[in-house]
Amino acid sequence: NPVFPLPAALESRGASMGAEFISSLNMGAGQFCTNPGLVIAVKSKGLDAFIAAARQAVESSSAQTMLTPGIHQAYTNGVQALTSTGKVHEVACGQKGAGPNQCQTALYVTSAAHFLAEKTLQEEVFGALSLVVECQDQNEVQRVAEALEGQLTATLQLEDADQEVARNLLPILERKAGRLLVNGWPTGVEVCDAMVHGGPFPATSDSRTTSVGTAAIVRFLRPICYQDLPDALLPEALQHSNPLSLKRLVNGEREG
């Protein structure tokens, strides 16, 4: 679930974004499937402020209990795999916990060149861990975006001055993610008609469906054509007399 803080947004509110980002990252010990596990941005003073604020928030983060020992072990293994590449720098680690299965928040930084060259850096670590990918310019941001697998979400943090940059990124992100956000954080999922909780593989096995929102019913439906059946044999919803007074399409025209 990559987050793209764009240049003007970083310049105007990099520090506040950094703190908000860690708040989203820590939700549920990082076990939300929309957890922001990647931050992709151009190196700048604004990004430095973002990372500094995130560092402070991570260092003050208490450890949280993960759902199962297996999930905690997978998180530990993921951290070890990430750090063993030698291609990441630790920004901060959260406080240790006293009990079992304690997830310590972790934040790392790498370069776009390392991220593109090292597959291990592109693998999700399920838990409160995120990786900041520092890019040399906006072209490199786009290269990193193109290299991403299918995602549930992609987030743009932007100001009005960033709209042209965002316009160039959107065609890439529309192919990569099921839900695109602006100036929010992906861990909040509203259950409403417009919500899509799905995305291209491997985010979901079928990018045409969603598990949240009105369209979720499509997963459980199979179309059937009833040809020349008398009303008595048709479901009430399809009978010519429309006994349920439904709003429906008849020969392409809306009825009811």
Give all domains of the chain, ordered by start, each with its CATH number: 2-182 (3.40.309.10), 224-255 (no CATH)
pLDDT digits (tens, 9 = 90+) for 116-126: 999 999 999 99
Check residues 208 and 54 and name the one with the higher pLDDT.
Answer: 54
Q: Residue 199 corresponds to which amino acid? A: G
Mean pLDDT computed over 148-163: 97
Mean pLDDT computed over 111-116: 98
For residue 256, the model assigns a pLDDT of 63
Q: Is the pLDDT of residue 100 over 70?
A: yes
Residue whose C-alpha is closest to residue 161's, from 11, 3, 47, 48: 11
Percent of the chain with pLDDT over 70: 100
- Please, are residues 50 and 58 in contact by the beta-carbon 8 Å criterion? no
Residues 6+ apart with CB under 8 A from 21: 3, 36, 39, 50, 54, 130, 185
- Please, are residues 200 and 177 in contact by the beta-carbon 8 Å criterion? yes
In terms of pTM, does the model score above 0.85? yes
- Please, are residues 157 and 17 in contact by the beta-carbon 8 Å criterion? yes
For residue 205, the model assigns a pLDDT of 84
Size (the chain), residues = 256
What value does the mean pLDDT of the chain take?
94
Q: Is the pLDDT of residue 203 over 70?
A: yes
- Please, are residues 172 and 142 in contact by the beta-carbon 8 Å criterion? yes
Taking the chain, what is the end-to-end CA distance rounded to the nearest angstrom?
Answer: 42
